A and B are shown apart, each in its own frame.
Chain A
Amino acid sequence: MSPRLSGQLAQLPLLSIWGSCPTVHGQVPIRTFGIRSLNPPKTSRFDVGPGLPILKSSPTAALERKANTLPLRTGAIATKKGMTGLYDAESGKRIACTVLQLDRLEVISHKTVQKHGYFAVQMGAGWRRPANLTKSLLGHFSANGVSPKRHVCEFRVKDETGLLPVGQAVNANWFEVGQYVDARSNSKGKGFAGVMKRHGFGGQDRSHGVSLTHRSLGSAGPSQGGGSRVYPGKKMAGNMGNEQNTVQNLKILQVDQENGIIVVNGSISGPKGCVVRIQDALKKPWPEVAATSKST
């Protein structure tokens, strides 16, 4: 049977009756003859009815979801001072480490569920001349009885037990030797970088007729058939670096409370002197000190 015959069959008047009959959606069985209701029963587009699960898109549900991944206690704002090596006395191994320093770190204010929808501790570090601060910030500091701070950051905590009293100073002994922290900081800025440097593209040939496009990306996408457009997220040239990067699970090797020095295993993004936010590691068990700090 040739395919053309089937096409001719489809054009028969008998079949056109089927095509013309109105399609009725819903639970009503399709009837092609007999009495038809003029107002077919309409069902709601939404899933309504008793016994449905509670939606998970509410703020309370979000807090519940996050309960296990929020640290119990606040973190600290530190400054990256540089890197050095430490020798392990037993094994004789040399461990590369980063030196961080805390500078006049204090609790500025709290964020609470009742008022802001989440629990967080606002911390401030350093000192800034009041003349260089906006009036609103100055008012915020003076209202909380804290000296003007250079850097202000929030650290989310799980519940109100993690909220340190306002004005309390946090020293280097907030962290324990041997515990693990996550460190987040802005990486070194590389400026406007091409695709070879920014995304590791291969570039193009030095010769073989390539002119003036040795370091550029090739095609930005397919032509007609692929949509004739550049897809979102296409890797292109642009600003590289100076974006936040988190390094997880860094072990704390040394703590010097007098000078506010914390020595952390491994490297941290950013240049010397950059601001680093450290908090208890998410992917390790919470440190034992959490319980003691709550009681004090």
Chain B
Amino acid sequence: MIQLKTMLNCIDNSGAAVVECVQVLKKKRPATVGDRIVVVVQKQRSFGSDSTGNSGIANKVRRGDIRHAVVVRARKEMQRPDGSLVRFDDNACVLINKAGEPIGTRMNGVVATELRGRQWSKILSLAPMHV
């Protein structure tokens, strides 16, 4: 249930930490896992780690940037074809460019398997874990 004004965690190393949803694309309903949204970067990850360069956080985006993103976790439960449900404790997304490729190179955090059915297999393979 991600809609206008929803704040999401950004779980890649693009440099954004918290983003706000400003638009849900290709849908007239709230977005869920696998949906493409437009976000505004609200909070960047700390610059200190950037200077060392070890953490791998490249500051590719800045606060106030408008980017596309894919939802990878949602608080609202999703139904699987066999009737089981999956729910996460937070809403999270991964920033992508217009072509649909992820901006970051690494991801930290579990994502939902529902990404596979759509065109987001690359994000799924980047993720350390999926449910």
Contact with B along A90-107 (1 / 0, CB 8 A): 011110000000000000
Q: Give the number of A-B contacts (CB < 8 Å).
A: 10
A122 to B82, CA, bound (A): 41
A91 to B81, CA, bound (A): 9
Q: Does A189 contact B (CB under 8 A)?
A: no
A-B contact pairs, 8 of them (CB 8 A): A85-B83, A87-B82, A91-B81, A92-B81, A92-B82, A93-B81, A93-B82, A94-B82
List residues 46-87 of chain B with CB under 8 A from any CB of chain A: 81-83
Chain A residues whose CB sits within 8 angstroms of the CB of B82 once the complex forms: 87, 92-94
A67 to B27, CA, bound (A): 43
Tally of contact residues, A, Cβ under 8 A: 6
List residues 53-99 of chain A with CB under 8 A from any CB of chain B: 85, 87, 91-94
Chain B residues whose CB sits within 8 angstroms of the CB of A92 once the complex forms: 81-82
A87 to B81, CA, bound (A): 10
A92 to B84, CA, bound (A): 11
Chain A residues whose CB sits within 8 angstroms of the CB of B83 once the complex forms: 85, 94
5 nearest A-B residue pairs (beta carbon):
A94-B83, A93-B81, A92-B82, A94-B82, A93-B82
Q: How far is the CB of B55 from chain A (nearest CB, A)?
A: 41
Q: How far is the CB of B41 from chain A (nearest CB, A)?
A: 36
Chain B residues whose CB sits within 8 angstroms of the CB of A87 once the complex forms: 82
A93 to B82, CA, bound (A): 4
Chain B residues whose CB sits within 8 angstroms of the CB of A94 once the complex forms: 81-83
A94 to B79, CA, bound (A): 11
Q: How far is the CB of A92 from chain B (nearest CB, A)?
A: 5
A103 to B101, CA, bound (A): 60
Chain B residue with minimal CB distance to A92?
B82
Chain B residues whose CB sits within 8 angstroms of the CB of A91 once the complex forms: 81
Given A91-B81, A94-B83, 5 new contacts (CB under 8 A): A92-B81, A92-B82, A93-B82, A94-B81, A94-B82
List residues 81-127 of chain B with CB under 8 A from any CB of chain A: 81-83
A92 to B81, CA, bound (A): 8
Chain B residue with minimal CB distance to A85?
B83
